[in-house]
């Protein structure tokens, strides 16, 4: 009997007298028993047979290589650009607000952007909150993507606006920070998904 046949039978759980006879005379197979038993344990672990969801490959490739916008994406990119312009327009108003903000909160780096840092200032108004972002260590959003500032309370997320250049971006949100204590910034593909992506670059609770 060859060592390969013994080891195959071991993994199959199908050892017979001739296999034990081989084992008694084969030091290499005796030494391999512990590893073979480990392999058998892993094969019996349900985790090793799980599959990632089908769409994960596309998400991975998209994360490393922002796609060029095409068709519908171009239309959304134009919409996003309009939003950015609106946010910039609000920024002119914000600069006219008093020096002291009503609140200021620090944003911390995440694993996706470990060099980033930032802070958000807020001015409470009758209808909501005007916000201004100061950020460092973040590049402008790549083509086909925008940054988005979120106010969140548990699983409820409200956008305060999108922008392509993080530092100096300003926006408005119709909720209060007291009710939505978590502030965070994601990188969003320009698409029709209204919710936050999982690509978080700054967060009050990283």
Partner 1 sequence: MAHERLMRRFSRGEAAACRELYEMYGRAVYVVALKALDDRGLAEEAVQLTFLRAWEAAARFEVGRDPGPWLYTIARRVSIDLYRRERRHRDHHQGTTEIVALPPSIEDTWDTWQVRAALDRLPADELEVVRATHFLGLSHTETAGKLGIPVGTVKSRSHRAYRRLAGLLAHLREASA
Contacts to partner 1 by CB under 8 A: 4-5, 7-12, 32, 35-36, 38-39, 41-53, 56-57, 59-61, 63-65, 111-112, 198, 205-206
Cα separation, 132 vs 69, in Å, equals 28
| Cα within 13 Å of Cα(138), Cβ side | 34
With respect to partner 1, which residue has the nearer C-beta, 40 or 128? 40
Cα-based distances in Å from 95 to 89, 101, 167, 170: 10, 11, 14, 10
Closest approach of Cβ 199 to partner 1, in Å? 8
With respect to partner 1, which residue has the nearer C-beta, 57 or 82? 57
Closest approach of Cβ 9 to partner 1, in Å? 8
Closest approach of Cβ 65 to partner 1, in Å? 4
The H-assigned helical ranges of 46-142 are 56-64, 72-95
The H-assigned helical ranges of 96-203 are none
With respect to partner 1, which residue has the nearer C-beta, 49 or 195? 49
Beta-bridge partner residues of 156? 153
Closest approach of Cβ 139 to partner 1, in Å? 13
With respect to partner 1, which residue has the nearer C-beta, 97 or 204? 204
Closest approach of Cβ 61 to partner 1, in Å? 5
Q: How many CB atoms lie within 10 A of CB 144?
A: 20
With respect to partner 1, which residue has the nearer C-beta, 16 or 98? 16
With respect to partner 1, which residue has the nearer C-beta, 24 or 65? 65
Given a contact cutoff of 8 angstroms between Cβ atoms, the answer to whether 130 and 89 are in contact is no
Closest approach of Cβ 180 to partner 1, in Å? 16
Given a contact cutoff of 8 angstroms between Cβ atoms, the answer to whether 185 and 202 are in contact is yes
Cα separation, 115 vs 137, in Å, equals 5
Cα separation, 182 vs 205, in Å, equals 7
């Amino acid at each position: 009997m060859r060592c390969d046949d013994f080891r195959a039978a071991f993994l199959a759980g199908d050892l017979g007298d001739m296999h034990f006879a081989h084992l008694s005379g084969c030091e290499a197979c005796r030494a391999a028993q512990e590893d073979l038993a480990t392999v058998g344990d892993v094969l019996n672990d349900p985790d090793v047979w799980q599959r990632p969801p089908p769409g994960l490959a596309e998400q991975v490739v998209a994360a490393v290589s922002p796609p060029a916008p095409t068709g519908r994406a171009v239309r959304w990119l134009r919409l996003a650009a309009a939003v950015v312009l609106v946010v910039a327009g609000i920024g002119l108003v914000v600069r006219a607000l008093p020096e002291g903000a009503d609140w200021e909160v620090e944003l911390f780096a995440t694993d996706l952007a470990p060099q980033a840092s930032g802070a958000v200032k807020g001015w409470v108004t009758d209808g909501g909150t005007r916000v201004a972002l100061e950020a460092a260590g973040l590049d402008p959003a790549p083509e086909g993507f925008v940054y988005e500032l979120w106010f969140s309370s548990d699983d409820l997320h409200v956008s305060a606006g999108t922008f392509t250049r993080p530092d100096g971006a300003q926006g408005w949100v119709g909720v209060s920070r007291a009710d939505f204590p978590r502030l965070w910034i994601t990188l969003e593909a320009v698409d029709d998904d209204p919710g936050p992506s999982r690509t978080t670059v700054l967060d009050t609770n990283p």
